[in-house]
Amino acid sequence: MNEFELIRRYFAACTSSREDVVVGIGDDCALLNPPSAQLLAVTTDMLIAGRHFPLDASAFDIGWKSLAVNLSDLAAMGAQPCWFTLALSLPEPDQSWLGEFAEGLGRCAKEFGIALVGGDTTRGALSISITAMGTTDSATSMRRDGARAGDVICVTGTLGDAALGLRLWQRRSFCRELVNTDLELLWGRLHRPQPRVSAGRALRGLAHAAIDLSDGLAGDLQHILSASGVGAEIRVDQLPMSPAFARATPEADRLALQVSGGDDYELCICIPPKELDSIRSSLDIPLVEIGHITTEPGLRWLDGQGRPLPVTAGGYDHFQ
């Protein structure tokens, strides 16, 4: 099977079809017809086996997650997902692996209405690189540089589940005492993240700044603070945790997982306080207030009584 057959066989029919794809897979380029007066939002994420997903993760989950992490970046800017390309390097054309991978990728693509429009395959260590494209309009797209002093900082969903899921996945022969449904939830959060696309769309024009949490709250929020030239105070007792996380994590470990654990793919947003109630009621997922933006630069962590906590944890950095 050559690379063209491989793409046709496994990927050609795996995603949504869209009317704005003039030429899709199979020519030198895809030809796309973006809506006029919209900006194109473009993002690339690369996933390497053993670094971004466990070597023993299922092919379906790897397919899902490869696309989901890109959709999360589109969500963070309020963009509507439209098209993506796939560059896949794999050690050998393992047919059952490819079939499952394409199924996971396709399931995620169909759920979010995004179409695969091109790609490339080559032999090598397992890695997946996806470039996803979406549309948004300039007036309402969310960026990292718009946070203002007084903004409320909120996060969607819960924090720490995926980092705990990874820890439990790596030690899974030792965690028999855990409730099975808790394990399933935590592993689901690790392997099949849900990009917050509809929340991102609903926040357009309301949030001053947003970022998706891929590398951990501490590191990712710092990107907003640096880009916006502001600081923040975060109340660690307000960080939302799932019941499964609360049951499965000793209290001493919670903060590190919630603050520097990666892979949550929730949105962290900065919004004017007066918008909080209306935003909350328009979202299909919980939005929790965890702190506020300050004029004084730096990121400060406070306990339940408002006392400073010496949190030194940064986000995940691939080069450290």
Candidate ranges 7-15, 72-80, 152-160, 191-199; the one touching Mg ion (CB under 5 A):
72-80
Nearer Cβ to Mg ion (15/214): 214
H/E run at residue 77: none
Nearer Cβ to Mg ion (158/214): 214
Binding residues with Mg ion: total (CB under 5 A): 3
Nearer Cβ to Mg ion (116/132): 132
Nearer Cβ to Mg ion (41/244): 41
Closest distance of CB 215 from Mg ion, Å:
8
Closest distance of CB 76 from Mg ion, Å:
5
Task: Tally Cβ neighbours within 10 Å of residue 55.
Answer: 8
- The tokens for 247 are 């049951």
Nearer Cβ to Mg ion (21/79): 79
Asked whether 197 and 142 are in contact (CB, 8 A), the reply is: no
Task: Tally Cβ neighbours within 10 Å of residue 34.
Answer: 14
Candidate ranges 12-20, 73-81, 105-113, 271-279; the one touching Mg ion (CB under 5 A):
73-81
Q: Whole-angstrom Cα distance, residue 273 to residue 279?
A: 10
Candidate ranges 59-67, 68-76, 188-196, 237-245; the one touching Mg ion (CB under 5 A):
68-76
Q: Whole-angstrom Cα distance, residue 58 to residue 107?
A: 14
Nearer Cβ to Mg ion (109/210): 210
Task: Tally Cβ neighbours within 10 Å of residue 308.
Answer: 10
Cross-strand pairs, 47:
128
Q: Whole-angstrom Cα distance, residue 115 to residue 121?
A: 18
Q: Does 73 bind Mg ion (CB under 5 A)?
A: yes
Question: What single-letter amino acid sits at 288?
Answer: V
Nearer Cβ to Mg ion (72/158): 72
Residues 156-215 that bind Mg ion (CB under 5 A): 212, 214
Q: Whole-angstrom Cα distance, residue 18 to residue 244?
A: 39
Candidate ranges 13-21, 32-40, 66-74, 172-180; the one touching Mg ion (CB under 5 A):
66-74
Instruction: List phi, psi (to 5°) of 209.
Output: -155, 155
226-240 in b/e burial notation, b at 16+ Cβ within 10 A?
eebebbbbbbbeebb
Closest distance of CB 211 from Mg ion, Å:
6
Q: Does 151 bind Mg ion (CB under 5 A)?
A: no
| Helix, coil or strand: residue 264 | coil
Closest distance of CB 61 from Mg ion, Å:
20
H/E run at residue 46: strand 39-48
Residue reference for tokens 């409320």 = 152
Asked whether 276 and 152 are in contact (CB, 8 A), the reply is: yes
Nearer Cβ to Mg ion (79/115): 79
What value, to the nearest 5°, has the Cα angle with vertex 89 and ends 110 and 120? 65
Closest distance of CB 43 from Mg ion, Å:
7
Closest distance of CB 245 from Mg ion, Å:
22
Closest distance of CB 273 from Mg ion, Å:
25
Closest distance of CB 24 from Mg ion, Å:
26
Q: Residues interacting with Mg ion, by CB under 5 A?
A: 73, 212, 214
